[in-house]
A and B are shown apart, each in its own frame.
Chain A
């Protein structure tokens, strides 16, 4: 419940931020490729890119793309073979940027789609071979925090994405969690300032 209250407060405060300084002119465009993991015990590998445009100093508009290789550590288990398992995510969003001495902090609300495709084959010598392939297209929205450190053309970047869909759910086993906590993404990379 405490977590839910904190999340609600974060969203509440987030809604305030765009109003502060719409008229300051400091246009920037950055491209920030990175790699990352989900918080589902680090079994997914993410290759991502954030393109961020600040038409004013405070206002940020962004596009985030990622290709995820899912469940990379367990591809053969109890005669169940994973033939392929990946996701493609594309989100767009807007938010605000705050600045400190050598870094900037961008808070974005992102929304887009997630496409997931995977195939498993049960190849147990006691039974007939059975394959099943699944594709899924689902909404993907949530909040992203992006840190940029260093103010030259190249800079270090770290991102944290908190999905709000599906909302977090728990099971009897603490490892059984889906949604917000499981699919939270941590990404790190190098950014390039284009303008």
Chain B
């Protein structure tokens, strides 16, 4: 075999091995099954059945400490990633971990996460929020040793999930004190979430809020950036007791920025709650 062919063979093997290693390292690690509790609830408000996964802290003690809770939307996609990073961040920052409550899909996410009906597959946000308030939170606070105050509850959502979180902040602000809202679809229905915020501002503006807003730097689809900025400026300029942070994730788009922004949002939450 010629010398240059041998070199090509070695180069090929090295490149192939590196690529396969990178691909393998991308796989998401499952959260510890021994610390996971799973159950289903049928929502009285819309009839859908939601699979709930609860990730308990490693040192969970049902009789001593009261834990904060983090409610995660798009649960099927985000549960393992969020639960693993909460565990890692709480350990590295030596702070108490939270109970992660992941809400699976009961029906189309575009129905559950949007506030108004602009098509057949939108507009069920109020019913979904009612389910969280009247069934899910009471169940979690009854079955687990968690803090029951507003300021101990957080919600994390991406895209329509971020829109849902923004609407929860506006219309039912007593439910959650902490919001991790990633690439929120504020553009939805002519920025109706901004209208809801404006309509309820007088009730909410003096209440404590922690809000992390994340987006991708190259979300240039012509709808994301300006409404995101308007929402950020609204919170910054009108809420007196707010801890507010904004992050634009470099080089990344709507989907690619999600996980990096989850990590940044969780870090901000753990450091500032």
Q: Chain A contacts of B256 at CB under 8 A?
A: 166, 169, 178-179
Q: Closest CB-CB distance, B182 to chain A, in whole Å?
A: 11
A167 touches B222 (CB 8 A): no
Question: For this complex, into which size category does the number of interface residues on chain A fall?
Answer: 35 or more
Residue A178 contacts which of B15, B187, B252 (CB distance < 8 angstroms)?
B252
B10 nearest in chain A by CB position: A15
B190 touches A79 (CB 8 A): yes
B26 nearest in chain A by CB position: A167
Q: Chain B contacts of A11 at CB under 8 A?
A: 15-16, 19
A177 touches B220 (CB 8 A): no
Q: Which of A26-34, A128-136, A146-154 contacts B (4 or more CB under 8 A)?
A: A128-136
Q: Chain A contacts of B228 at CB under 8 A?
A: 132
Q: Would A71 and B187 be within 8 Å (CB), given that A19-B8, A136-B250 are in contact?
A: no
Q: Closest CB-CB distance, B117 to chain A, in whole Å?
A: 16
Q: Chain B contacts of A79 at CB under 8 A?
A: 190-191
Residue A138 contacts which of B11, B226, B251 (CB distance < 8 angstroms)?
B251
Cβ of B174 within 8 Å of any chain A Cβ, yes or no, is: no
Q: Chain B contacts of A127 at CB under 8 A?
A: 191, 194, 198, 230, 234
Residue B4 contacts which of A19, A116, A136 (CB distance < 8 angstroms)?
A19
Cβ of B94 within 8 Å of any chain A Cβ, yes or no, is: no
B223 touches A121 (CB 8 A): no
Residue A12 contacts which of B12, B23, B226 (CB distance < 8 angstroms)?
B12
Cβ of A70 within 8 Å of any chain B Cβ, yes or no, is: yes
B220 touches A8 (CB 8 A): no
Q: Chain A contacts of B224 at CB under 8 A?
A: 120
B223 touches A8 (CB 8 A): no
A183 nearest in chain B by CB position: B253
Q: Would A80 and B220 be within 8 Å (CB), given that A16-B8, A178-B253 are in contact?
A: no
Residue B252 contacts which of A13, A80, A166 (CB distance < 8 angstroms)?
A166
A12 touches B19 (CB 8 A): yes
Cβ of B5 within 8 Å of any chain A Cβ, yes or no, is: yes
Q: Would A134 and B222 be within 8 Å (CB), given that A16-B8, A80-B187, A176-B255 are in contact?
A: no
Q: Chain B: how many interface residues by the 8 Å CB criterion?
A: 51
Q: Closest CB-CB distance, A84 to chain B, in whole Å?
A: 10
A18 touches B190 (CB 8 A): no
Cβ of B7 within 8 Å of any chain A Cβ, yes or no, is: yes
Q: Closest CB-CB distance, A181 to chain B, in whole Å?
A: 11
A16 touches B9 (CB 8 A): yes
Against A, the Cβ 8 Å flags (1 = close, 0 = not) of B207-247 are 00000000001101111111111100110000000000000
B2 nearest in chain A by CB position: A19
A171 touches B220 (CB 8 A): no
B78 nearest in chain A by CB position: A172
A71 touches B220 (CB 8 A): yes
B227 touches A19 (CB 8 A): no
Q: Chain A contacts of B220 at CB under 8 A?
A: 70-71, 85, 116, 118, 134
Binding site for B on A (CB under 8 A): 4, 7-9, 11-19, 22, 70-71, 74-80, 82, 85, 116, 118, 120-122, 124, 126-128, 130-132, 134, 136, 138-139, 166-167, 169-172, 176-179, 182
17 of the cross-chain contacts (CB-CB < 8 Å) are A11-B19, A12-B15, A22-B4, A74-B222, A78-B190, A79-B190, A80-B227, A122-B230, A127-B198, A128-B233, A136-B250, A136-B251, A171-B254, A177-B255, A178-B253, A178-B254, A178-B255
